[in-house]
Amino acid sequence: MSSRTSPKVAVLLGGPSAEREVSLSSGRECAAALRGEGFEVVELDAGPDLAARLVEVAPDVVFNALHGRWGEDGCVQGMLEWLRIPYTHSGVLASALALDKQRSKEAYTAAGLPVVESLLACAAEVRARHVMEPPYVVKPNNEGSSVGVYIVHDVANGPPKLDEAMPEVVMVEAFAPGRELTTTVMGDRPLTVTDILTDGWYDYDAKYKPGGSRHVVPAELPVEIFDACMDYALRAHEALGCRGISRTDFRWDEPRGLDGLILLETNTQPGMTPTSLSPEQAASVGISFGALCRWLVEDASCNR
């Protein structure tokens, strides 16, 4: 950081991904919190001129509040490394690995973490026939926030009618029944476990619309399952090489006990909106939203 009394923080938000609106909300909340913590804050909507604007603004730190492609997949991280500006959250490799669902699953498997069967397939083939025995889930291989997720429950309903906006290659994975659980890791510390209750699938609306889901935090679980979520989340964070905070999502099929707990994915840029899970988990262990944002800035670096 420079010798300024109040370090200048550039909060990156918006951007061109499918998760632009969520990023705008996250970024504005983080910017407000950082101002409350005494930082000088500049909000930058990430566009094609982002590198030039960063050179002009000359921040001491970049707070990355982008979600989805370009902001969460290693692209903006590589640019920040090139510009030698310290930044928050994960670096180039961890970001790229985590957003690529197939490669992150390979990293989980190598670390001995439980995942469900999955494969990559052409979207045209998925529209034409069942490439896996139902029930299964179809989703983009490199988007987050439940963007473009299809659940296929029954053979009789035929293959899914995927939207034309879906990428040419998609992930198809066996449907994992059960409760939706999640754990945030902050540095080398898993915070707690949240049980996410919804009326249906934990989709985009359930994640980001007020009242879309109900969160029980800390989750009311058998000690074995709670401890396993904490352990698996930290191991996933380390296996991918994450920095700052990450959030790993699970499904738990209760009748199967520990064998029913599987990892879904790890988010290197967890949402920081009023309904987001990671700030809620931090608050539950005594870390305010402002303190969480401050910690992320203080944790920022290059060579992540």
Q: Which of 15, 74, 249, 260 is catalytic?
A: 249
Does the active-site annotation cover 249?
yes
Residues 6+ apart with CB under 8 A from 113: 232, 235, 236, 239, 263
Does the active-site annotation cover 301?
no
Q: Which of 37, 43, 180, 265 is catalytic?
A: 265
Q: Which of 208, 260, 294, 304 is catalytic?
A: 208
- 9 neighbors 60 (Cβ within 8 angstroms): yes
Q: Amino acid identity of 105? A: K
Does the active-site annotation cover 208?
yes
How far apart CA 215 and CA 277 sit, in angstroms, is 8
**Within 13 Å of residue 113, how many CA atoms lie on the same side as its CB?**
28
Q: Which of 25, 64, 145, 276 is catalytic?
A: 145
Does the active-site annotation cover 19?
yes
Does the active-site annotation cover 202?
no
Does the active-site annotation cover 265?
yes
Q: What share of the chain is helix, strand, coil (3-state, %, to 5)?
A: 35, 25, 40
Does the active-site annotation cover 267?
yes
Q: Amino acid identity of 46? A: A
Q: Which of 64, 95, 267, 278 is catalytic?
A: 267
Q: What is the 3-state secondary structure (H, E, C) of 167-178?
A: CCEEEEEECCCC
Q: Which of 17, 19, 60, 143 is catalytic?
A: 19
Residue reference for tokens 């939203």: 289
Residues 6+ apart with CB under 8 A from 150: 137, 138, 139, 160, 162
Q: Which of 91, 271, 278, 294 is catalytic?
A: 271
Does the active-site annotation cover 189?
no
Q: Which of 20, 235, 243, 247 is catalytic?
A: 247
Active site residues: 19, 145, 208, 247, 249, 265, 267, 271
